[in-house]
Amino acid sequence: MKKYNLSKNITTVMLAWAMLIMPLAAFGQTRISMPKNKYKVQDDVRIGREASAQVQQQMPILNDSETTRYVQDVGRRLVDAIPSQFQQPGFQYNFSVVNARDINAFALPGGPMYVNRGMIEAARTEGEMAGVMAHELAHVALRHGTAQATQQSKPLNQLGTIGLILGGAILGGQQGAQLGALGAQAIVTKYSREYETQADILGAQIMATAGYDPRDLANMFRTIEQQSGGQRAPQWLSSHPNPGNRYNNINREAQLLGISRNATQDTREFQRIQSKLSRMSRAQSMEEIARNQQNGRGGYGQGQNPMANGRYSSRVQLPSSRMRVFSSGNFIQMNVPDNWQEFPTQDSVWFAPQGAYGNQGITHGAMIGMVQSRSNNLQQATEDYVNGLMQGENNYLRQAANYSRTTLGGRNAYATTLSGRSPLTNRNEVVNVITTQLRNGNLFYVVAVAPENEASNYNYAFRNMLRSIRLGD
């Protein structure tokens, strides 16, 4: 089974200039118009889900239910305060905490939001933390990710293949560049000044409706600025450039909105969560996370093969009967033989024992991953995938069995078998492919590989793997 990589285009989203905001004092607040957008609301949802699955896979999500619940509560309160004309019934807002020390937060089209632990620790009050979240929510509600794509000079009809438009740029600046792959192949993009102004104004309005003091959004920008330098360099500011007079503009909007005397500025709960976080072991910076992944068992960089250091051997250890649990965020959990190493690449994870992997792929082991599919029909999507698999490096493989129906992770699935003489082992190779659909319509696949004359030794391991798969998308 040779290495098989889908190439994906990374498209830099260009921004155009448009005035979208006009003050209308008569309404007591600035009126905002939805920017022009040629994409369907469902496109936002789909792109966001795909990106989110990759973020879950590649970023350390803080595993603390109390903190997560707290951030979710603040998030829901803000979501409820989004003005009705910007509510999208198809959007699913949800909130996760990334266990990274950088001061950052990002929201993906359609609703998934990630707040770094460093951002929560940097905020002085709940109101300041909520300010960042309200600003991010405003980008999502106004569909700025796809609106930006709409303004691109090239027609972007290949939305399905560009990978992602990460609304609000996950990773700004230098670290962002290093983490190109980590951030779900982040298209590191800055919003235009207009969109920034819109997000500031709508963010302030959401704050006020939710019962926060909108001036805390302005205060948070100052708080973040003060923390510049060092390892917690505020990436957030580079992906949300100051449109000019940001602080004053937000405060002016706050005056228009009127500030309630009862507005929430801080809560005991926020202080408790903050002190809980400060007692946890130090979070890594995004740079450290990326470096560890590069040096560790799997490199994520484009064009890099994490298995390149391996040497093929004619004697490969049998799969251990002891299984260990492999999991990737909430996205997937499954058993793999104890003696198989794992090699994550951009869109797949390979598993193989010593002697069975190298720069050309694997001779014994398995691979899981997902691909974007053109078709919503599982059989069609499976055929597309399998036909793609048998081209290029793997053109020695032929389909050896018809498609059959099965289940994977409790979902309908298709299975087929390929075989052919492997140029790596010079022996006949059997490749079992099992596919199912993810909720976002993408195809999830498991590919199991072994030489034909050893296949019986792998049945137990493969069956165990397949039976144990849990998908959390």
The Cα–Cα gap between 436 and 379 comes to 9
Distances from the Cα of 359 to the Cαs of 265, 303, 356, in angstroms? Answer: 56, 11, 11
Which residues lie closer than 8 Å to 312 by C-beta, 6 or more apart?
A: 355, 356, 357, 358, 363, 424, 425
**Shortest approach of Zn ion to residue 203 CB, angstroms?**
8
Strands annotated E in 329-403 = 332-337, 341-344, 348-352, 357-358, 361-362, 365-371, 398-399
Among candidate residues 2, 31, 6, 1, the one with its CA nearest the CA of residue 372: 6
199 vs 367 by CB, closer to Zn ion: 199
**Virtual CA dihedral for 2, 412, 465, 425, nearest 10 degrees?**
-20
179 vs 199 by CB, closer to Zn ion: 199
Please, which of residues 323-342 interact with Zn ion by CB under 5 A?
Answer: none
118 vs 203 by CB, closer to Zn ion: 203
27-35, 69-77, 240-248, 312-320 -> range binding Zn ion (CB under 5 A): 240-248
197 vs 442 by CB, closer to Zn ion: 197
195 vs 385 by CB, closer to Zn ion: 195
Query: One symbol per residue from 178 to 217: x for binding Zn ion (CB under 5 A), - otherwise; what is it?
Result: ------------------x--x------------------
**Shortest approach of Zn ion to residue 136 CB, angstroms?**
7
Eight-class DSSP state of 143: T
Contact (CB, 8 A) for 96 and 48: no
Residue nearest to Zn ion (CB): 240
**Shortest approach of Zn ion to residue 183 CB, angstroms?**
16
Please tell me whether residue 240 binds Zn ion under the rule CB under 5 A: yes
Q: Which helix (H) or strand (E) holds 252?
A: helix 246-257
32-40, 234-242, 426-434, 446-454 -> range binding Zn ion (CB under 5 A): 234-242
Residue 89 exposed, middle or buried by CB count within 10 Å (0-12, 13-18, 19+): exposed
The Cα–Cα gap between 416 and 230 comes to 53
18-26, 101-109, 232-240, 278-286 -> range binding Zn ion (CB under 5 A): 232-240
169 vs 289 by CB, closer to Zn ion: 169
The Cα–Cα gap between 330 and 260 comes to 40
**Shortest approach of Zn ion to residue 194 CB, angstroms?**
11
115 vs 199 by CB, closer to Zn ion: 199
Sign, CA dihedral 323-463-382-6, equals: positive
The Cα–Cα gap between 130 and 138 comes to 12
60-68, 237-245, 397-405, 439-447 -> range binding Zn ion (CB under 5 A): 237-245
**Shortest approach of Zn ion to residue 58 CB, angstroms?**
23
222 vs 467 by CB, closer to Zn ion: 222
**Shortest approach of Zn ion to residue 214 CB, angstroms?**
15
**Shortest approach of Zn ion to residue 169 CB, angstroms?**
9
**Shortest approach of Zn ion to residue 231 CB, angstroms?**
23
Query: One symbol per residue from 278 to 317: x for binding Zn ion (CB under 5 A), - otherwise; what is it?
Result: ----------------------------------------
Total chain residues near Zn ion (CB under 5 A): 3
Strand partners, 371: 443
Contact (CB, 8 A) for 37 and 146: yes
**Shortest approach of Zn ion to residue 115 CB, angstroms?**
14
144 vs 215 by CB, closer to Zn ion: 144
**Which residues of the shown chain bind Zn ion in the complex (CB under 5 A)?**
196, 199, 240
